Chains A and B, each alone.
Chain A
Amino acid sequence: MTGTQTAAVAETAAPAAAETTEDGYNFAYLDEQTKRMIRRCILKAVAVPGYQVPFGGREMPLPYGWGTGGMQVTASIIGANDTLKVIDQGADDTTNAVNIRRFFARTADVETTETTGEASIIQTRHRVPEDPMTEDQILVLQVPQPEPLRSLEPREIECRKMHAYKEYGLMQVSLYEDIARFGEIATSYSYPVMVNDRYLMSPTPIPKFDNPKLDSYPALQLYGAGREKRIYAIPPYTKVKSLDFDDHPFQVQQWEENCALCGAEDTFLDEVILDDRGGKMYVCSDSHYCARRRAEGHSGKLSGSAAAAYAAAVGADQPEKGA
């Protein structure tokens, strides 16, 4: 699987190489040489799972921190036949997601979707979809800070040596500090993982709820950091282990409530404030997943009236789509 998929990564944009879009931009915005350079870095990243590969990051037409790393990775691997889904914090309909989706619809003329199962490439910020992904799909994650050791060790040379020599005691120290201060490992996102028993990796600010999904994940995961100009990857079915202590094993967040809209019991929930009197509800962070469940007839305790309230609260028309 890995073989065919990496081959796909290398070739995917080839048919579109000569095309330019009506706006005068090259296919998927970046020029072909740049995309080829990035694809080479991606291949290296796939070959050394979890290792941060430096790449010649380009200026993108939006600021750092808005997904420039993920966009460059997506631009390098996307082809005319791909279907793209973009998620921002689980939602398909927030500014960042909408804009990036629109960007590729315009510069690469690809189909876009909000349905996890339909997409061949999913670019995401801060979440892994609730629906399972398959070997035929690629997950592209936007990375603000690729270096998990950065907050602990400010010297870049020292960080690189620690990776090279697999000296990761310091990362464990940060978890120790959590337990000493809070009685438990309080880190709830960007929770560090060991990839393939070799490289320490930051899984981007996904909630640690999503960490277990990364282990032996069928889809190829590509991580792009625009400001820091690093790419790293987890090939399909790679071992990914969240760090922990023997007497404080890794645990994911849990909620006492289920999703107020679709009643799901096992998803990552967002808290939504409904009014200024303390009213709130918990809903799936993955908007597509929640909508699909409601379309299938599942409902939560607030589904009727609260759906409207939620829509009003987040200022979107999205929940009505499936209902």
Chain B
Amino acid sequence: MNAMSPLLRVHNLSHAFGSLLACSDVSFELHSGEVLGVVGESGSGKTTLLNCLSARLVPTNGIVEYDLRDRGLTDIYSLSEPERRFLLRTDWGVVMQNPRDGLRMSISAGGNVGERLMAVGARHYGEIRGTAEEWLEKVEMDLGRIDDAPKHFSGGMQQRLQIARNLVTKPRLVFMDEPTGGLDVSVQARLLDLLRGLVRELKLSAIIVTHDLAVARLLADRLMVMKDGKVVETGLTDQVLDDPHHPYTQLLVSSVLQV
């Protein structure tokens, strides 16, 4: 247990857009079953970091290694593009802030969930549909909507569908970019609850980008606080939020409105 090698290892990751350094010198390890929250205000480089980590943006510098099922820790950018794409639709999941980016809006809910299965070779309609139903139930969706397209769904339902679509291949690592952004508070609570349950039940590892400290507290085991592309503080979630050390983190924590 102690000497367990990490699931994801990031070493000196930097990314620049031209002369603009979006994230700089980020290093950390993520262990199996851990949920890492990345917090910071808009423009602090959170999303750029997430894109680099999830094999969707080649970083200017640094190494991202992932514990591939068949090869162990491997630099993901040494993989060929089809290998990376395969990873992204099997052992990884990416939940986008805007469901439009993560769902096929005019394909039925069942088709959206089934796509990943078909992408890895499932060719039995009945079984695909059965699995899709199972997952829709898990994310608390009405099975009567299985043949409806997500463009007719509410924001919360779209987000839940996006989660089901990502988890259907039982990924070990899920990346989430503001998964509750833009949702009503009550809808947000339900989604958080669902995510919390799924993360535990499936022993998922996750990296969650959010600017909402309450979301981070509820979902993340540990936090990384970013400012101007740099990680200014890391640690256990409750430690960072209850005993922040860096001036920026203290400002962030003290700026949260109390209800």
Contact = CB atoms under 8 A, between A and B. Distances in A.
A173 B81 contact: no
B110 A246 contact: no
B93 to A, nearest CB: 15
B17 interface: no
Contact of B119 (A152, A161, A170): A170
Contacts of A173: 104, 107, 111, 114-115, 118
Given A161-B81, A165-B82, A170-B115, A176 B128 contact: yes
Given A165-B85, A167-B85, A179 B115 contact: no
A148 B185 CA distance: 42
B111 to A, nearest CB: 5
Given A161-B81, A165-B81, A245 B116 contact: no
B81 A248 contact: no
Contacts of A246: 123-125
Given A161-B81, A165-B81, A165-B85, A176 B116 contact: no
Contacts of B31: none
Contacts of B116: 169
B85 A176 contact: no
Given A165-B82, A177-B108, A248 B125 contact: yes
B196 interface: no
Contact of A177 (B111, B119, B123, B124): B111
Interface string B109-147: 011001111111001111011000000000000000011
Nearest to A176: B111
Contacts of B115: 169-170, 173
B226 to A, nearest CB: 30
A161 B120 CA distance: 16
Contact of B111 (A164, A180, A245, A247): A180
Contact of B147 (A161, A165, A181): A181
A176 B147 contact: no
A179 B125 contact: yes
Nearest to A244: B123
A244 B123 CA distance: 8
A172 interface: yes
A247 B114 CA distance: 15
Interface in A170-190: 170, 172-173, 176-177, 179-181
Nearest to B112: A173
Given A169-B119, A176-B118, A181-B147, A245 B124 contact: yes
B119 A167 contact: yes
A179 B128 CA distance: 12
Interface in A138-155: 152
A284 B185 CA distance: 63
A89 to B, nearest CB: 30
B123 A180 contact: no
A177 B104 CA distance: 12
A246 B118 CA distance: 12
Contacts of B107: 152, 173, 177
Contacts of A161: 81, 85
A71 B104 CA distance: 37
A167 B81 CA distance: 12
Interface string B18-32: 000000000000000
Contacts of B129: 176, 180
A248 B110 CA distance: 17
Nearest to B117: A169
Interface in B197-235: none
A169 to B, nearest CB: 3
B124 to A, nearest CB: 4
A172 B85 contact: no
Contacts of A152: 104, 107
Interface in A3-42: none
A176 B119 contact: no
B106 to A, nearest CB: 9
Contacts of A169: 115-120
Given A165-B81, A180-B108, A247-B124, 14 more contacts: A152-B107, A161-B85, A169-B116, A170-B118, A172-B118, A172-B123, A173-B104, A173-B107, A173-B118, A176-B118, A176-B125, A179-B125, A245-B124, A246-B124
25 contacts: A164-B82, A165-B82, A167-B119, A169-B116, A169-B117, A169-B118, A169-B120, A172-B118, A173-B107, A173-B114, A173-B115, A176-B110, A176-B111, A176-B125, A177-B108, A180-B108, A180-B110, A180-B111, A180-B129, A180-B147, A244-B123, A245-B124, A246-B124, A247-B124, A247-B125
Interface of A: 152, 161, 164-165, 167, 169-170, 172-173, 176-177, 179-181, 244-248
Q: Shortest 7 CB-CB distances between A and B: which pairs?
A: A169-B119, A165-B82, A172-B118, A169-B118, A245-B125, A246-B124, A173-B111
